[in-house]
Homo-oligomer: A and B are copies of this chain.
Amino acid sequence: MEKYSKQREEVFNCIKETKLHPTAEEIYMNLKLKNPNISRGTVYRNLNLLVEKGLVNKISNSGKPDKFDYVCKPHSHAICKVCGKVYDFEILLDDEISSSIKAQTELEEFSNEFTIYGICKSCKNKK
């Protein structure tokens, strides 16, 4: 049976309160300010728990550390290949697209959450 923990609450709040899709390390550093004793292990363990419970989304970005995102409503992510920044967006998945995906894959359940990679304005301008 699961038990309340201050640390877990703090991890959750930290994600909820920012819109910046923090990494585990960033969350750890942030919580360390208020509670210098907190350990990375605890942060990782709680992140995994929160993801399992569906309260938090894990966004994985090839090579770079995972980012975490508060789940309020289903939405999609646009990731810049260059700087790794994540932008939220919403698209509506109409029945046509949805059944087309089902027809082409073995995936049964999926929600309105896509990931797309590209290059963001500021990285494009730098080149």
Contacts and interface: CB of A to CB of B under 8 A. Distances in A.
A120 interface: yes
A89 B101 contact: yes
Interface string A56-84: 00111111001000000000001010000
Closest 3 CB pairs of A and B: A110-B118, A60-B62, A87-B105
Given A63-B60, A66-B62, A89 B114 contact: no
Interface residues of A, number: 37
Given A62-B58, A62-B60, A114-B114, A109 B91 contact: no
Interface of A: 58-63, 66, 78, 80, 85, 87-91, 97, 100-101, 104-111, 113-122, 124
